[in-house]
Amino acid sequence: MRFDFEVELPDAPGELSRLLQVVATHGGNVLSVLHRHERAVQGRVPVAITAEVPEAQALRLLDALARTHRILRVDREGGPARAAVVLVGHVFEADLRRLMDRVFANGASVGAVDARIAGRAEPSAVLLSLTADGADALRAAIGGLREDARAAQLTMIEQVAGEPGE
């Protein structure tokens, strides 16, 4: 099965090699590695790995990674697709039911809502965590939400390709 994950590594010689050894020990064949040095924070670097892993080893690999690294993201082929979007503007003046109905109608769900409200007359920012059974359903939900947000005069900020949850 295809297994995508992102972990945080110390920015030090040999750390990537140790991570890849954990994958190999669990029968993983690494397909790609994205070492994100531009995102290093306090000497720690996010690293995204795509690997083919025997299904019987996937949970063992995840357990081994969790014991040795901070896991930032895990996705598997055929698993749920996730994304986050931020709506900015007078979100609570908009028809929230219509916005959410569009997400649900496309087969996605809203896992979490996090709002920042400075005051009634000020624009607000609302983070929505979306989940769908597949990437196509998630894209449809985001596309519909984008249309409704535009109609409600809201700015919608989406994840950039390659970000967690894509």
| pLDDT of res. 22 | 92
CA angle 86, 155, 98 (to 5 degrees): 80
| pLDDT of res. 163 | 43
* pLDDT(50) > 80: yes
Confidence of residue 78 (pLDDT cuts 50, 70, 90): low
Domain 2-76 belongs to what topology?
Answer: Alpha-Beta Plaits (3.30.70)
| pLDDT of res. 76 | 66
**DSSP SS3 for 134:** coil
Does domain 81-158 match CATH 3.40.50.620?
no
Mean pLDDT for 141-160 is 90
Portion of the chain with pLDDT greater than 90, in percent? 33
**Given the structure tokens 């993201």, which residue do they identify?**
73
Mean pLDDT for 89-97 is 86
- Greater pLDDT, 106 or 153: 153
Mean pLDDT for 14-38 is 91
* pLDDT(89) > 80: yes
H or E element that contains 144: helix 135-151
Mean pLDDT for 2-17 is 89
Domains 2-76 and 81-158 share a fold: yes
Mean pLDDT for 88-99 is 86
Confidence of residue 146 (pLDDT cuts 50, 70, 90): very high
* pLDDT(131) > 90: no
> Got the DSSP string for 7-64?
EEEESSTTHHHHHHHHHHHTT-EEEEEEE-GGG-BTTEEEEEEEEE--HHHHHHHHHH
Ranges of each domain in the chain: 2-76, 81-158
| pLDDT of res. 77 | 63
